[in-house]
A and B are shown apart, each in its own frame.
Chain A
Amino acid sequence: MTGAAAPRLQARLMLGLMLAPPLLWLFALIVLPHVDLAVLSFRERLGPGEYGRSLEQYRTFFGEPLYWHVFVRTAVMSAIATLLTLLMAFPVAWTIAKLARGRLGALLLVVCLLPFWVSETVRTLGWMILLRESGVLPQLLYHLGLTAAPVELLYHDATILVGLVYTSLLFMVVPLVNSFESLDNSLIEAAYDLGASGFAILREIVIPHAKPGITAGCIVVFMLTLGNYLTPNLLGGKNSQWFTEQIYTQFITRFNWEQGAAFGFLLLALSTAMVWLGLKLSGQRFGDVMRRA
């Protein structure tokens, strides 16, 4: 008995040691700060150095229309950005997975990855150079005589969406490529042979098969977009009204950590709720989706 128990103990010890770094990381960098933020968000400053438990921070959020407005706007814009990313990534992923032969597919995927060689800041600044009033695109339109004067293309909602879709595309393309690659071509041929049109094949065969990949991509892109700070801020300027900016303002400008923490939790609740809703609507389970992605 003891002879068999010793190696088993050793194996368990090994497993524990190997899991220790990620567990430590998870605990120290994710669980602990969140617990601290949760405590913070249920606190109210009564006087200098004097604090009490309260729901005041959350009450402020619901009582102040601006916060509400920004919150809902962020959610809607993120949903639109996710949908646009899906629509753009779908043909790209299909081309990579099904139409490109041999090394061309890998090459196309690398092309999708290429923008990530530079930092998000530089990428976004690139968009600014292209789109600002004295920038490349407005000047080109002006010199071609298409516009009477150079137009400011920055600081619109559409600009924010362009930036967000650009940043998110890869995270949608990769799970979609995986889904499409696992789709047996003979299923498409069989459907075609049984009289299906291209649209019917898409609706009946391709989308049901790729559903977990589509859901996974949408979850990832939605979360990234919702929590993005840089792109809406730089491309949208003062008009962006992104919820992360409200959190930033509370923490850094107003030094109101309690309010910032409450906002942080509200954003977390929002993304959780949206992901749950998305899974419910498409009739899927989180575990299946993540395994497929």
Chain B
Amino acid sequence: MSAAAPAAADLEVRAVVKRFADHTAVDSLTFSVTRGSFFSILGPSGCGKTTLLRMIAGFIQPDDGDIVIGGRSMAGVGPNRRPVNMVFQQLALFPMMSVGENVAFGLARRGVPRAERLRRAEAMLERVGLGGAGGKRVDEMSGGQRQRVAIARSLVLEPTLLLLDEPLGALDLKLREHMKIELKQLQAAFGTTFVYITHDQSEALVLSDHVAVMNRGRFEQLGTPQELYYAPATAFVAGFVGANNRIPGRVTAAEGAIAEVVTAGGWTVRARMSAPLAAGAAAEAFVRPEVASLGRSPGELPPGQPAHVGLVESLLFDGANSAVLLRERATRFEFRIALPQTGRYADLKVGEPVHFSFDPERAVCYAAPAA
């Protein structure tokens, strides 16, 4: 993690292993989460992130290793005795209770007197912007409001750690964008440590102080969103975080840090090696769509970059995220380039030949992962 002042860790996971009958879901993971930070675990479904979260919550026991929360080992401590609360994917609000009773549920279990817990539940609802909603039924609330009730229900217990299991997954796109911002503001306001799991890279990048990219039970990379985006440590991270052009091929030559990768079709690209690669090694080069430049003539391209020629395959208009899909002229290799905001290339025609280039320093290549 970053070399900040040595802040206390709210969560320490030490060499935790969880095996199921036919595979290892979590493979000897060690990491810690700083107090008050927003930590995300990002990975495709089946990568083991849910298993990891459920081990932290206490619903399943690790086969090996230890989980330490707030300085205390959680071995043998049940979920109802951990200083951890969880916001479930489907929220799991209690339909048989009112909103206020939902929020007061945990306080009631701690033996807080009725008048006191109703007051605290109401105060908590106020803080998440749902003042006065305590008497409503759960099914009277909108999707975004339920989300806030679920968070309020957990935060009212002042947990050391709040776990969130893809809580935005069930919302529609517009509400999801809105809730992203709200979640971040809530976390800043409460200062509680959040551990968030998601398969949506945009959620992880927008929300988090630190993100761990998980694949096959291991962390591929742990870093700030910027580090993941600009300096992906592995081919998996490069492919998973953000849009990327993936160019598989073989290294034909390496000079300094730059390798020459030739695709099966014979297209040659140049990219920076993340680790030294020998000539002949199978490799994958990654070029982000916004790194490449586009021009109608070779003269429009930045000088000193290897130029390529392509034919416009299709135009992908998406407002600020518009892009053009090309095919490299000789090899028909598909390549995506982000269109500049100026609207300069708005009149591109399908089939039109264009010139493009990218800085090899800003493209990166890795040894191809073993199949």
Contacts and interface: CB of A to CB of B under 8 A. Distances in A.
Contact of B110 (A184, A192, A195, A205): A195
Interface in A109-141: none
A186 B109 contact: no
Interface in B25-62: 57-59
A193 B80 contact: yes
A184 B109 contact: no
Given A184-B90, A189-B59, A200-B109, A194 B85 contact: yes
B86 A190 contact: yes
A152 interface: no
Given A187-B94, A200-B109, A205-B96, A192 B88 contact: no
Nearest to A211: B96
Main secondary structure of the interface of A (DSSP, over half): helix
A76 B96 CA distance: 31
Contacts of B153: 194
Among A190, A193, A205, A209, max chain B CB count under 10 A is at A193
Given A189-B59, A200-B109, A204-B105, A195 B92 contact: no
A208 B105 CA distance: 14
Given A204-B105, A205-B96, A208-B96, A192 B79 contact: yes
Contacts of A290: none
Contacts of B88: 186, 189-190
Contacts of B106: 194-195
Nearest to A198: B80
A184 B80 contact: no
Interface string A196-228: 110010001100110000000000000000000
Nearest to B96: A208
Given A205-B94, A205-B96, A209-B96, A193 B105 contact: no
B96 A194 contact: no
Contacts of B90: 184, 186
Contacts of B79: 189, 192-193
Contact of B92 (A187, A197, A208): A187
Given A184-B92, A196-B80, A197-B80, A191 B105 contact: yes
A187 B138 CA distance: 13
A39 B58 CA distance: 67
B92 A190 contact: yes
Contacts of A187: 92, 94
B157 interface: yes
Contacts of A200: 109
Interface residues of A, number: 17
Contacts of A190: 86, 88, 92-94
B154 interface: yes
Interface in B96-145: 96-97, 105-106, 109-110
A195 B94 contact: no
A184 B92 CA distance: 8
Max chain B Cβ within 10 angstroms of own Cβ: one of A189, A192, A195, A208: A195
Contacts of A196: 80, 105, 109
A184 B59 CA distance: 16
Contacts of A189: 59, 79, 86, 88, 92
Nearest to A196: B109
Contacts of B110: 195
Contact of B157 (A184, A192, A194, A197): A194
Contacts of B109: 194-197, 200
B96 A192 contact: no
Contacts of A204: 94, 97, 105
A194 B105 contact: yes
Nearest to B54: A189
Contacts of A205: 94, 96
Contacts of A195: 80-81, 106, 109-110, 157
Contacts of A193: 57-59, 79-80, 84-86
B59 A194 contact: no
Contacts of A208: 96
Nearest to B82: A193
A193 B84 CA distance: 8
A191 B97 CA distance: 12
A190 B167 CA distance: 14
Contacts of A209: 95-96
Nearest to A189: B59
11 contacts: A187-B92, A189-B92, A192-B78, A193-B59, A193-B80, A193-B86, A194-B85, A194-B105, A195-B157, A204-B94, A208-B96
Question: Which 4 A/B pairs are nearest by Cβ-Cβ distance?
Answer: A194-B106, A190-B92, A195-B109, A186-B92
Given A190-B93, A193-B85, A196-B105, 12 more contacts: A184-B90, A189-B59, A189-B79, A190-B88, A191-B105, A192-B78, A193-B58, A194-B105, A195-B80, A195-B157, A196-B109, A208-B96
